């Protein structure tokens, strides 16, 4: 599935609270950036994908979700070029301190840049709780030698990685081809080499959805998040229901605010999902608490 200009954007009805009947909710996939980068991202989406429905600053993102009943926000960012990671990490750490106990921030680094390990160490010492990487934007090969110091640093600090290394959704506007860099097979090498490193792949792995479903059965250090995939926005043939997954390795994530539909669209899908209450609790908050070590 390739992103393309003028994809649908919806003004569907939204509610002002998390759907009734759901357990507490942690949103494990929320994007935040300084205003200049947020503006550039919105422009990119307008030109190459969909119109982002929620045009908000970082603080507005936090206030919007928290006021609607989200228990904790996992705030993600990524450096799209070398030399800006320190600035982004400082920015997010400062924001998180204003929302202590409600927002958990993830660091960024540009793979292969000079002092990558030091950048991460500084970010973790400043209170950030893990690392976010995006292979489509940062164009890294997860099996390259320059990645291993990053994995080692996160493993030594006990910090997880949210790593977009699924092949979809791809775009011709990217400067690299995700199909050349990303695959479940490539990720499996990392999982084997770093058994103590917790990794989450967003979007349930998307087009390789069954391969990633099998990987979480095989590896205890892999999690997946639901971001956008349990809605009907992307057409995924033969998509297995969440009740068929290993329940202790799936986390709810929204992709807010960079979405083309109502903020609670995915939550409404969870609310009507046919699954045991304990499985729903794991997906909505317990797995995120474990993955991001929120009680430590």
- For the segment 64-75, what is each residue's pLDDT rounded down to a tens digit? 999 999 999 999
Mean per-residue pLDDT, 226-253: 94
Alpha helices by DSSP H, 126-255: 135-138, 148-157, 178-181, 184-193, 209-218
pLDDT band at 296 (very low <50, low <70, confident <90, very high): low
Least confident among 104-113, 124-133, 232-241? 232-241
- Position 120 in a domain: yes
- Residue 8 placed within a domain: no
Domain count along the chain: 1
Inter-residue contact 234 to 1 (CB < 8 Å): yes
Distance CA 104, CA 24 (A): 16
Residue with the two structure tokens 């998390």: 18
For the chain, what percentages of helix, strand and coil (3-state, to nearest 5) are there? 40, 15, 45
Q: What torsion, rounded to 10 degrees, do the Cα atoms 211, 214, 215, 218 define?
A: -160
Q: Any idea what the CATH number is for the domain that residue 101 is in?
A: 3.20.20.140
Mean pLDDT in residue range 258-271: 98
Residue 164 tokens, joined: 């977009």
Neighbouring CB atoms inside 10 A of 92's CB total 27
Q: Give dist(CA 146, CA 84) in Å, integer.
A: 18
- Asked if residue 15 belongs to a domain, the reply is no
Does residue 17 belong to any structural domain of this protein? no
Classify 70 as helix, strand or coil: strand
Q: Where are the alpha helices (DSSP H) in 194-285?
A: 209-218, 265-271, 277-281
In whole angstroms, what is the distance from residue 39 CA to residue 56 CA? Answer: 10
On average, the pLDDT of the chain sits at 97
Q: Is the pLDDT of residue 1 over 80?
A: no
Handedness of CA 190, 188, 226, 257 (dihedral sign): positive
- Which range marks the domain in which residue 209 is found? 24-291
Residue 174 falls within a domain, yes or no?
yes
Give the C-alpha separation, 145 to 189, whole Å: 13
């Amino acid at each position: 599935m390739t992103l393309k200009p003028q994809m649908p954007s919806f003004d569907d009805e939204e509610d002002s609270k998390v759907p009734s009947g759901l357990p507490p909710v942690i949103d494990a996939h929320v994007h935040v950036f300084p205003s200049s980068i947020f503006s550039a991202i919105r422009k990119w989406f307008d030109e190459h994908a969909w119109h982002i429905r929620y045009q908000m600053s970082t603080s507005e993102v936090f206030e919007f979700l928290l006021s609607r009943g989200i228990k904790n926000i996992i705030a993600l960012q990524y450096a799209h070029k070398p030399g800006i990671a320190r600035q982004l990490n400082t920015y997010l750490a400062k924001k998180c301190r204003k929302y202590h106990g409600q927002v958990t921030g993830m660091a960024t680094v540009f793979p292969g840049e000079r002092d990558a390990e030091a950048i991460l160490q500084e970010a973790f010492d400043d209170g950030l709780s893990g690392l976010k990487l995006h292979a489509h934007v940062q164009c890294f090969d997860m099996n390259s030698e320059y990645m291993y110091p990053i994995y080692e640093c996160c493993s030594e600090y006990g910090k997880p990685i949210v790593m977009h290394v699924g092949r979809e959704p791809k775009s011709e506007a990217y400067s690299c081809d995700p199909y050349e860099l990303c695959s479940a097979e490539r990720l499996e090498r990392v999982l084997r080499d770093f058994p103590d490193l917790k990794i989450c792949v967003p979007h349930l792995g998307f087009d390789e959805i069954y391969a990633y479903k099998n990987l979480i059965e095989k590896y205890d250090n892999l999690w997946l998040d639901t971001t956008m995939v349990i809605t009907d926005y992307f057409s995924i043939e033969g998509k297995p229901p969440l009740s068929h997954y290993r329940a202790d390795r799936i986390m709810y994530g929204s992709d807010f605010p960079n979405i083309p539909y109502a903020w609670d669209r995915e939550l409404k899908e969870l609310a009507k999902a046919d699954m045991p209450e304990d499985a729903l609790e794991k997906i909505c908050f317990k797995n995120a608490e474990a993955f991001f070590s929120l009680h430590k």
